[in-house]
Amino acid sequence: MHLGVMAQEYRRQTELPAMAQLSFEERLAMLVDAEWISRHNNKLRRLLKAADLRHPEACLEDVDYAPSRRLERSTIARLSNLTWIKERQNLFITGACGTGKTWLASAFGNAVCRHGMQVLCLRTNRLLGDLVIARSNGSWLKRLSVLKKPDLLILDDFGLSPLDAIHCRDLLELVDDRDGKGSILITAQLPVSEWHGIFEDATIADAVLDRIVHKAHRLELHGPSKRQIIPRGQETEYEKGG
């Protein structure tokens, strides 16, 4: 029955004389709780490993609300309930290099995993390069089907380089497959108003942005770069990059 943790908890109870003072119902509840907590933690570990977050330790409880960042607690609180994930909406996090975009994206990914949902984090340029290779070896459709499954797909560092015709088409296929089926979180240095210029094909740019922009929440990060030279092991939140 795969109840190893419950059996372990039972043995622990038999070794403690004080347990004899508890009722059968109380001891049974402790057995069930131990098994449930173990399975929940194991599932969370599997989800976090599969998500491949850039900062798996990041969590929304540790967000830095320094005035220079212009980040509202109420906005993070509203997004932290993950209603936007359940409604298949998107989230854009923009800002200059080093302001913590990747860290914050990882924190949202962590929160989604803790709610038992699937996440996948990918660097945009690397993903598009993989899709080009997948076209050549016949695994393109299989790769797209994998990208369609997560409840949240994080595309990190979007817009670092222009998108050629092939990349434009692949991104359109990806966005179209996920439209109404899963959320996309995008981090980018460029503001959303400049994303259209990244695409070589203006028609595809219109199609992609029309599918993702109109149902997206936006966070714009400000302030100085958090990438400071700090001894290893002494980093704090955004000093770890993003």
CATH number at residue 85: 3.40.50.300
- If asked whether residues 157 and 206 sit together in one domain, one would say yes
| 99-103, 191-195, 231-235: least confidently modelled range | 231-235
Question: Could you give the dihedral angle defined by the CA atoms of residues 58, 72, 84 and 91, in that order, rounded to the nearest 10 degrees?
Answer: -70
pLDDT exceeds 50 at position 238: no
Q: How confident is the model at residue 10 (pLDDT cuts 50, 70, 90)?
A: low
pLDDT exceeds 70 at position 232: no
- If asked whether residues 177 and 160 sit together in one domain, one would say yes
- If asked whether residues 30 and 144 sit together in one domain, one would say no
- If asked whether residues 200 and 96 sit together in one domain, one would say yes
pLDDT exceeds 70 at position 216: yes
- Model-wide pTM > 0.75: yes
Distance CA 213, CA 160 (A): 19
Residue range 208-229: mean pLDDT, rounded:
88
pLDDT in tens, 37-70: 766 778 889 999 999 999 999 999 999 999 999 9
Looking at the structure of the chain, the number of domains it has is 2
Residue range 15-32: mean pLDDT, rounded:
76
Q: What is the pLDDT of residue 239?
A: 44
Q: How confident is the model at residue 24 (pLDDT cuts 50, 70, 90)?
A: confident
What residues make up the domain containing 202? 53-240
Of 13, 32, 47, which marks where a domain is finished? 47
- Among the listed residues 146, 145, 143, 119, the one whose alpha carbon sits nearest the alpha carbon of residue 132: 143
Specify the DSSP element, H or E, that contains 119.
strand 119-123
- If asked whether residues 93 and 22 sit together in one domain, one would say no
- If asked whether residues 199 and 101 sit together in one domain, one would say yes
- If asked whether residues 15 and 112 sit together in one domain, one would say no
- If asked whether residues 65 and 10 sit together in one domain, one would say no
Contacts of 2 (CB under 8 A, 6+ apart): none
Distance CA 36, CA 3 (A): 10
Q: What is the pLDDT of residue 211?
A: 96
Q: What is the pLDDT of residue 1?
A: 64
Distance CA 55, CA 66 (A): 20
Measured distance between the N- and C-terminal CA atoms of the chain, rounded to whole angstroms: 44
- If asked whether residues 134 and 80 sit together in one domain, one would say yes
- If asked whether residues 11 and 128 sit together in one domain, one would say no
- If asked whether residues 19 and 101 sit together in one domain, one would say no
Of 27, 47, 67, which marks where a domain is finished? 47
pLDDT in tens, 169-191: 999 999 999 999 999 999 999 99
Q: What is the pLDDT of residue 73?
A: 95
Put the strands of the sheet holding 152-158 in their side by side order.
119-123, 152-158, 183-188, 90-95, 216-221
- If asked whether residues 106 and 214 sit together in one domain, one would say yes
